Amino acid sequence: MLQGFREFITRGNVLDLAVAVVIGGAFAAVIDGLVQGFIMPLIGWLVGAPNFSAIAFEVPNWHGGRTEFPIGLFIQGLIMFLLIAAAIYFFVIVPVNKLQSLRKKPEEVVEEAAAEEVVLLTEIRDLLRAQNAGTDRPSL
């Protein structure tokens, strides 16, 4: 039982996953700093402070009181998700893809030389067509 656990832990994909979680946590802090420190102030400068957390509605409950549904928290979370996704795409994915396309070497077009057998078969076909051109037989 312990042998199986040791094999599971020492597999490459488990270690890669652990590294990805740690790097992802550190990267999340960078992206959160970008969104909170640059994008949100920029939006606030353009259209005012976008704070949707105060949006809510109330409905009567069974006990005679009222129950509040703060849907603004969901809207705020959704907007933050979209802003973070846009920040990752435009500030990370697009530049990395551009760098990768610049690093790629153009693929050389290599014409494959026709095999000697193919050349011989083509010559035989042409000779047979030339011989059959003078007769009434159908050509190949």
Would you state the pLDDT for residue 109? 55
Would you state the pLDDT for residue 98? 92
137: which DSSP letter? S
For the residues of 39-79, what is the DSSP string, one character each? Answer: IHHHHHHHH-----TT--EEEE-TTSSEEEE-HHHHHHHHH
CA atoms within 13 A on the CB side of 53: 4
∠ Cα 44 75 93 (to 5°)? 70
- Sign of CA pseudo-dihedral 112, 117, 118, 124: positive
Would you state the pLDDT for residue 124? 92
Q: Which fold, 2-106?
A: 1.10.1200
Q: What is the mean pLDDT of residues 4-28?
A: 80
Would you state the pLDDT for residue 126? 92
Is residue 140 predicted with pLDDT exceeding 60? no
- The average confidence (pLDDT) of the chain is 80
Q: What is the mean pLDDT of residues 30-54?
A: 78
